[in-house]
Chains A and B, each alone.
Chain A
Amino acid sequence: MINSSLKELGAALAEKRISSVELATLLIERIEALNPTLNAFITVDREKTLAMARDADRRLGAGLAGPLTGIPLAHKDIFCSEGWLTTCGSKMLANFASPYDAHVVQLMKAAGLVTLGKTNMDEFAMGSSNETSFYGPVKNPWDNTRVPGGSSGGSAAAVAARLTPAATGTDTGGSIRQPAALCGLTGVKPTYGVVSRYGMIAFASSLDQGGPMAKSAEDCALLLSAMSGFDPRDSTSLDRPAEDYRRDLEKPLAGLKIGLPREFFAAGMAADVREAVDEALAEYRRQGAVTVEVSLPSSGLSVPAYYVIAPAEASSNLSRFDGVRYGYRAPEYTDLADMYCKTRAQGFGAEVKRRILIGTYVLSHGYYDAYYLQAQKIRRLIANDFVQAFRHCDIIMGPTTPSTAFALGAKSDDPVEMYLSDIYTIAVNLAGLPGMSIPCGFGGEGGKLPVGLQLIGNYFDEARMLGVAHRYQLATDWHKRMPEEA
């Protein structure tokens, strides 16, 4: 049951082979057993979850169920969820019980999904290893000495350890795809504007995008169909007709043109990752796809551009955490300025402070043109690179990460090294394109660590991208592998 697809779970629930309450109870018990080790969840609330499950069972009984009704789902703790603590991985919001639901949470509730809990994450989604969380690091279920990736590391570890069939994540520079790769999952970052950001605590507004993390492309297609759609409360939400992202799942691959960016296959990729990616590409060729070399000449500038734009937006987005209206406030202070300083000094962790400082600096008078404006120009160049590349191919593929999961603490003292773990994913956010990661083999010592293949689609081409991933998953079983612990 724990390794079942959402389709299978939906069928089991519909046929009353299992109730939503039974399913939720089973998973809560797994969480209780494994979470002390993995630290994937920040908040679990058995009563709230079971109340939702009972409600789902009533709907199932009354024949009012949809394909997802009664299936448990974990939310990254960045999504505001009414009545639940929504901490964003920070001491700053450790006491923040959201009075409202994020748009994504609303939609998932409406689809009948049962909230299983709130998952751990890098503080305010700033990190690539889930080590910046106020609630402590998350362990990679494939190797507890290693990181699960980040920032959606709790969601990734929870799905990988089969503590939940699926989870939500957010991706600002790779925060869905990178942990999906390091934990052996399928994770999708949609085109910017497809998933409403309302109620998703902002890190970098022009880059943030919510998406599903699950075991397969098919599961993700089902979830994305439920969580996407126009939301008038988000001005950057795209007013397009609702889509069924499963529509191209069965589409054959013959004639598909896969673009391989020269820059992604240059030095820097670990040998085990390269091997797995090459093997995956061979499988695609076997299914009738052709690969062509494409070029993204500006992609080398994506990490520096990102680390100007994202901190700039973050420095402003995080200003609301000032101790005045909600969240943490320093217990002692002498005056207003002191209250601000102490509250923010005590409430934010080191990485968040680092990015606020960088962001404040690059927006400062006299530096704005040299940093922020320049970075925006690079961003445009990067987007243009992709537009050019998609003239020659239908989809772009490459590694999701340069290496398999690294050891806990290995990069936490070297922020630049840490930032480079998102080198293949960041350009996609800067361009606003859809991207996903699917498991494509194993590497590391003894071949026990998952490797991710990144798929990058053209704007709004999620359905085709998911179909390309699904055809691969029909022919391989990497996505069905579970860590021993599970």
Chain B
Amino acid sequence: MMEWEIVIGLETHAQLRTNSKIFSGSSTAFGAAPNTQANAVDIALPGVLPVLNRAAVECAIRLGLAVGGKIAARSIFARKNYFYPDLPKGYQISQYETPVIAGGSLAIVVGQAGQSYEKTVALTRAHLEEDAGKSLHEDFHGKSGIDLNRAGTPLLEIVTEPDMRSAAEAVAYAKALHALVRWIGICDGNMQEGSFRCDANVSVRPRGSEVLGTRREIKNLNSFRFMQQAIDYEVQWQIATLEDGGRIEQATVLFDPATGETRAMRSKEDAQDYRYFPDPDLLPLEISPDWIARVKADLPELPAEMKARFESEYRLSAYDAAALTAGREICVYFADCVAAAGRENAKLCANWLMGELAARLNKEGREISAAPIPPLQLAALVRRIADATISNKIGKEVFDALWSGEDKDVDAVISDRGLKQISDGGALEALIDGVLAANPKSVEEFRAGKEKAFNALVGQLMKATRGKANPQQVNELLRRKLSDRDVLRPPD
């Protein structure tokens, strides 16, 4: 049986967060009544002309800086000519031979905690273009409706090299890019509204082959789950086809979430000749070093930089550091938390953030920005665990109280509920004596060599203290007591 290698490249359309369209002054807000946000330029009346929105260019520069790409001093807008009712001019203004951004890369972490690996995906280019309108095929009884609100919305198309070798890598890349475009504020990342959508070029080849297989392009993947499913299906289909002695024809395919299958939309023979040529209505886009410097000064610390910093300064694992920099919100939360808890407690902050807090948010379907426990409260909790005021286990009880909003102050919760850890040796000794006296059977069993009986005794003690006994101290004291033959001899 031949071993196959999967090769994937992604093209992502990120809708840029500008107030107005890329070549007209119309609003880009989502959800307005059809054709209410389409002006003369957007509907391509005779005689109208495009004027480039500098804010869209600034978004491209931000991405270029964030991925370490080359920002072209001079790039050209070209017309991509084809007829479609939702394409008012009969051409889309895009960039073809000279894109605004060339090269760059994105680091990704693939897989689950403990078995993850890092990888760098090289970018080919990123270019600016305008979106088309929408064709509406329902509600018009045999006709189609056209909504041109989206026509002219600015897009940045970000293209990778065929660097990914599994659906998991493709999804990890898409997630990293999704986080990045939101991080640098150029795209709202709303996949349901189509603000961030991916096309995946998928091919397979015998492992060890240098030649790329024939690719099929899966269009318009608008969720990470669909991306995973679509690529998995496509790969399995391509391998099955080849193993059956078939050939892969270059094609564009669509993923149907209902069936979980991909199906061909058009083959290479149907490929259109777009007759690209430089748009004579627009001057070449010139970006000065000055402009780039201004944008750079305005850029936040980037996720890759923060990830590296978290690993070196806080000694976090690559997986943890990647998870904590997967989005601006979680990262800011973490940074605030560490600042208040002290950097020596960073790892504990990370554990709480990615453990209890993440689980709770996930369970309730909340975003971290809507977490009921602000970073400073979590930091206070972490500090009390770190200084042994409470145990990690009791920490969860405090966390619950904070989460429910019953209390806002960690120390108040601890004192009001008497959760302070019992670390006083004398007090603990007395308690242990009581437990040993009440459980002679367990003591006997332990002495007979049953280690389990020790745990039962610890459990009894914890029960008696409602979990507040310092577990480490309990262990030590209990062992000492049990080894002392004089202690707890059955009464004569």
A binds B: yes
A interface vs B, CB < 8 Å?
A: 79-80, 86, 88, 93, 96, 98-100, 102, 197-202, 204-206, 232-236, 312-313, 315-316, 318-322, 324-326, 336, 340, 360, 363-365, 368, 372
Q: Is the CB of A319 within 8 A of B89?
A: yes
Chain A residues with CB under 8 Å of B48's CB are 198-199
Q: Is the CB of A316 within 8 A of B90?
A: yes
Bound form: Cα–Cα A369–B86 in Å: 30
Looking across the interface, which residue of chain B has its beta carbon closest to that of A360?
A: B275
The reply to whether the CB of B44 lies closer than 8 angstroms to some CB of chain A is yes
Assuming the contacts A324-B146, A340-B83, asked whether A316 and B277 have C-beta atoms less than 8 A apart, the reply is yes
Bound form: Cα–Cα A313–B78 in Å: 12
Looking across the interface, which residue of chain B has its beta carbon closest to that of A324?
A: B85
Chain A residues with CB under 8 Å of B21's CB are none
Q: Which one of A79, A102, A319 has the highest number of Cβ atoms from chain B below 10 Å of its Cβ?
A: A319
Q: Would you give the shortest CB distance from B94 to chain A, in whole angstroms?
A: 13
Chain A residues with CB under 8 Å of B91's CB are 316, 319
Q: Is the CB of A363 within 8 A of B49?
A: no
Q: Is the CB of B281 within 8 A of A198?
A: no
Chain B residues with CB under 8 Å of A100's CB are 40, 45
Q: For the complex, would chain A's binding face be called helix, strand, loop or mixed by DSSP majority?
A: loop
Bound form: Cα–Cα A368–B276 in Å: 9
Chain B residues with CB under 8 Å of A234's CB are 49, 51
Q: Is the CB of B47 within 8 A of A316?
A: no
Q: Which one of B51, B81, B88, B275 has the highest number of Cβ atoms from chain A below 10 Å of its Cβ?
A: B275
Assuming the contacts A235-B282, A316-B277, A319-B81, asked whether A102 and B88 have C-beta atoms less than 8 A apart, the reply is no
Assuming the contacts A99-B40, A235-B52, A316-B90, asked whether A326 and B45 have C-beta atoms less than 8 A apart, the reply is yes
Q: Is the CB of B50 within 8 A of A235?
A: yes
Q: Would you give the shortest CB distance from B162 to chain A, in whole angstroms?
A: 23
Q: Is the CB of A368 within 8 A of B277?
A: yes
Q: Is the CB of B90 within 8 A of A319?
A: yes
Looking across the interface, which residue of chain B has its beta carbon closest to that of A340?
A: B83
The reply to whether the CB of B43 lies closer than 8 angstroms to some CB of chain A is yes
Q: Is the CB of B283 within 8 A of A235?
A: yes
Chain B residues with CB under 8 Å of A80's CB are 45-47
Selected contact of B46 from candidates A236, A315, A320, CB within 8 Å = A320
Assuming the contacts A235-B50, A235-B283, A320-B89, asked whether A363 and B45 have C-beta atoms less than 8 A apart, the reply is no
Q: Would you give the shortest CB distance from B48 to chain A, in whole angstroms?
A: 7
Selected contact of A336 from candidates B45, B85, B276, CB within 8 Å = B85
Chain B residues with CB under 8 Å of A316's CB are 79, 81, 90-91, 275, 277
Q: Mark B262-301, 1 if CB is under 8 A from A, else 0.
A: 0000000000010111001111000000000000000000
Q: Would you give the shortest CB distance from A344 to chain B, in whole angstroms?
A: 9
Chain A residues with CB under 8 Å of B281's CB are 202, 205, 235-236
Q: Is the CB of B83 within 8 A of A372?
A: no
Assuming the contacts A93-B46, A320-B88, asked whether A233 and B51 have C-beta atoms less than 8 A apart, the reply is yes
Q: Which one of B45, B83, B88 has the highest number of Cβ atoms from chain A below 10 Å of its Cβ?
A: B45
Chain A residues with CB under 8 Å of B277's CB are 312, 316, 363, 368, 372
Looking across the interface, which residue of chain A has its beta carbon closest to that of B90?
A: A319
Chain A residues with CB under 8 Å of B50's CB are 235
Q: Would you give the shortest CB distance from A340 to chain B, in whole angstroms?
A: 6
Looking across the interface, which residue of chain A has its beta carbon closest to that of B282?
A: A235
Q: Is the CB of B90 within 8 A of A199?
A: no
Q: Is the CB of A232 within 8 A of B83?
A: no
Chain B residues with CB under 8 Å of A360's CB are 275
B interface vs A, CB < 8 Å?
A: 40, 43-52, 79, 81, 83, 85, 88-91, 146, 273, 275-277, 280-283
A-B contact pairs, 30 of them (CB 8 A): A86-B46, A98-B46, A99-B45, A198-B47, A198-B48, A200-B47, A201-B47, A202-B281, A205-B281, A232-B51, A233-B49, A234-B51, A236-B280, A236-B283, A313-B280, A315-B275, A316-B275, A319-B81, A319-B90, A319-B91, A320-B44, A320-B88, A321-B46, A322-B90, A325-B44, A325-B146, A326-B45, A363-B275, A363-B276, A364-B273
Q: Which one of A202, A320, A368 has the highest number of Cβ atoms from chain B below 10 Å of its Cβ?
A: A320
Chain A residues with CB under 8 Å of B282's CB are 235
Looking across the interface, which residue of chain A has its beta carbon closest to that of B41?
A: A233
Chain B residues with CB under 8 Å of A198's CB are 47-49
8 closest residue pairs by CB, A with B: A319-B90, A206-B280, A363-B275, A205-B280, A199-B47, A201-B46, A320-B44, A80-B47
Looking across the interface, which residue of chain B has its beta carbon closest to that of A323?
A: B85
Looking across the interface, which residue of chain B has its beta carbon closest to that of A312?
A: B277
Bound form: Cα–Cα A318–B85 in Å: 15
Bound form: Cα–Cα A78–B58 in Å: 36
Chain A residues with CB under 8 Å of B49's CB are 197-198, 233-235
Chain B residues with CB under 8 Å of A324's CB are 85, 88, 146
Bound form: Cα–Cα A237–B324 in Å: 49
Bound form: Cα–Cα A262–B52 in Å: 43
Bound form: Cα–Cα A137–B50 in Å: 33
Assuming the contacts A80-B47, A99-B45, asked whether A325 and B88 have C-beta atoms less than 8 A apart, the reply is yes
Q: Is the CB of B46 within 8 A of A88?
A: yes
Q: Would you give the shortest CB distance from B49 to chain A, in whole angstroms?
A: 5
Chain B residues with CB under 8 Å of A235's CB are 49-52, 281-283
Query: A325-B43, A325-B146 are known contacts; what are 14 more A-B pairs with Cβ within 8 Å?
Result: A86-B46, A88-B46, A200-B47, A201-B47, A202-B47, A234-B49, A235-B282, A312-B277, A316-B91, A318-B90, A320-B44, A322-B83, A322-B85, A336-B85
Bound form: Cα–Cα A322–B81 in Å: 13
Q: Would you give the shortest CB distance from A294 to chain B, in whole angstroms?
A: 29
Assuming the contacts A96-B46, A197-B49, A235-B50, asked whether A319 and B83 have C-beta atoms less than 8 A apart, the reply is yes
Q: Would you give the shortest CB distance from A82 to chain B, in whole angstroms?
A: 11
Assuming the contacts A102-B47, A200-B47, A235-B51, asked whether A320 and B90 have C-beta atoms less than 8 A apart, the reply is yes
Looking across the interface, which residue of chain B has its beta carbon closest to that of A363?
A: B275
Q: Would you give the shortest CB distance from B121 to chain A, in whole angstroms?
A: 30
Q: Would you give the shortest CB distance from B84 to chain A, in whole angstroms?
A: 9
Q: Would you give the shortest CB distance from B32 to chain A, in whole angstroms?
A: 18
Looking across the interface, which residue of chain A has its beta carbon closest to that of B43?
A: A325
Q: Would you give the shortest CB distance from A199 to chain B, in whole angstroms?
A: 4
Q: Would you give the shortest CB distance from A207 to chain B, in whole angstroms?
A: 8
Assuming the contacts A206-B280, A236-B281, A324-B146, asked whether A365 and B273 have C-beta atoms less than 8 A apart, the reply is yes
Bound form: Cα–Cα A313–B44 in Å: 16
Q: Is the CB of B275 within 8 A of A364?
A: yes
Q: Would you give the shortest CB distance from B376 to chain A, in whole angstroms?
A: 49
Chain B residues with CB under 8 Å of A201's CB are 46-47
Q: Would you give the shortest CB distance from B241 to chain A, in whole angstroms?
A: 29
Chain B residues with CB under 8 Å of A365's CB are 273, 275
Bound form: Cα–Cα A122–B48 in Å: 20
Looking across the interface, which residue of chain B has its beta carbon closest to that of A326?
A: B45
Bound form: Cα–Cα A384–B91 in Å: 32
Chain A residues with CB under 8 Å of B81's CB are 315-316, 319, 363
Bound form: Cα–Cα A236–B280 in Å: 9
Chain B residues with CB under 8 Å of A233's CB are 49, 51
Chain B residues with CB under 8 Å of A98's CB are 45-47
Q: Would you give the shortest CB distance from B86 to chain A, in whole angstroms?
A: 9
Q: Would you give the shortest CB distance from B34 to chain A, in whole angstroms?
A: 13
Chain A residues with CB under 8 Å of B90's CB are 316, 318-320, 322
Bound form: Cα–Cα A233–B45 in Å: 14
Chain A residues with CB under 8 Å of B146's CB are 324-325
Q: Would you give the shortest CB distance from B343 to chain A, in whole angstroms?
A: 52
